[in-house]
Amino acid sequence: MKLTSLQGACAAVVLALCGCTSTPPAPPPVSPVLPDQAPLPGQVLARNERLMIYVPAGGDSLRGLAARLLGSEDNDWQISEANGGLSKLEPGQPVVVPLKPQNPVGVWPGSYQTVPVLCYHRIGSVGGKMAVSSANFAAQMEWLVKNNYRVLKLGQLGPYLDGQQALPPRSVVITFDDGYESVYRFAFPVLKKLGLPATMFVYTDFLGAGDALTWPQLQEMSASGLMDIQSHSKTHRNLIERTAGETDDRYARNIEQEVVFPRDMLEKRLNTPVRHFAYPYGDANELVLDQLTRQKFNLAVTVNPGGNAFFAQALMLRRTMIFGDHDLEAFKARLQTSRKIGGAP
């Protein structure tokens, strides 16, 4: 946005903040001191509970300002969006800072936001259709970064679904299923290089066997802060199918074990909360959903493709599979970040 138009926008907001209908005298500087904080380096022209007009000083940055005022440097996109896609702060040029989410559910004229959750299994050359080559995976992640997508932690969808926290317009979540060692070998270095978070859903009976991850590898990824380790059940059985001779009572006890055992083991071994679940084969029924609710899980994912809007069911989130035969164009086509109002689900 050009300086003149930005200053005009800021002036309009100042009018709104002051409740004026005619041009007011220049407002006195507002104290920039916030509770338990040192003064901001620049000048606060006006503010209320929702908005601030701020004149940056030398050394100010979008991420630094977001960390000070919006709780996290990752909320810098909110300042950028409020100022026409501003890429950096310029000393002396006023900006609008939204102190509260302006559009927490992501609804715009004619469309609404959806957040794709992508699902990978193996990375490398082994595993047939389920295996995405290391080169393709790296190209996909690099494309996301270069095209201004924000890769989020799965847990960030919770406040968004509750209508409490807005998400960047181009948000995407990366997940891995089962717990293959190839994720540690090929995907984890890419995520570290680019600083991208992801979630790994593991079924605990698989760990340490064959081509599965080891506990030390899981602990290393979890300790990095980039890979969130969550539950994919104990045995990876289809949770809605009965085994031969499985009575109602036995089935209910078995489902409880599939939910409780991996949560307790992962929390004990990794010292991290486990409140997210991936259904084996993407299937769930009322008994499974009830068990997840009883055990305080707050997010769960299927393999039904598509993006997740603000009205998505937290325990039945959509998730889009990425296969080895998907080229970059096919990958791009699966990044559903918005839908037209009235469009198909």
Q: Which long-range contacts (CB under 8 A, 24 or more apart) does 206-209 make?
A: 206/178, 206/179, 206/236, 207/179
Find the mean pLDDT for residues 31-59: 81
pLDDT number for residue 173? 98
Closest of 229, 286, 279 to residue 258, by C-alpha: 279
Question: What are the tokens at 65?
Answer: 């300002």
pLDDT over 50 at 138, yes or no = yes
CA atoms within 13 A on the CB side of 55: 13
Predicted local distance difference test score (pLDDT) of residue 344: 53
What is the pLDDT at residue 137?
98
**What are the residues facing 44 on neighbouring strands?**
30, 54
pLDDT tens digits, 186-209: 999 999 999 999 999 999 999 999
Mean pLDDT of the 84-101 span = 93
Residue 115 pLDDT more than 60?
yes
What is the distance between the alpha carbons of residues 201 and 276, in angstroms, rounded to a whole number?
Answer: 9
Give 301's strand partners.
278, 317
**273-320: pLDDT as tens digits:** 999 999 999 999 999 999 999 999 999 999 999 999 999 999 999 999
pTM of the model: 0.85
Mean pLDDT of the chain: 90
Q: Residue 101's pLDDT is what?
A: 84
The pLDDT score that the predictor gives to residue 10 is 55
Contact 252, 287 (CB under 8 A): yes
Burial of 104 (0-12, 13-18, 19+ CB in 10 A): middle
Report the pLDDT averaged over residues 92-98: 95
Instruction: Read off the pLDDT of residues 211-266 as tens digits, 9 standing for 90 and up.
Output: 999 999 999 999 999 999 999 999 999 999 999 999 999 999 999 999 999 999 99
**Strand spans (E) along the chain:** 43-47, 51-55, 95-98, 107-108, 111-113, 115-120, 122-123, 131-132, 150-152, 171-178, 198-202, 227-231, 276-278, 299-301, 307-308, 320-321, 338-340
Instruction: Please compute the mean of the pLDDT values over residues 169-189 and round it to a whole number.
Output: 97
Using alpha carbons, select from 264, 331, 259, 312 the residue that is nearest to residue 288. Answer: 259
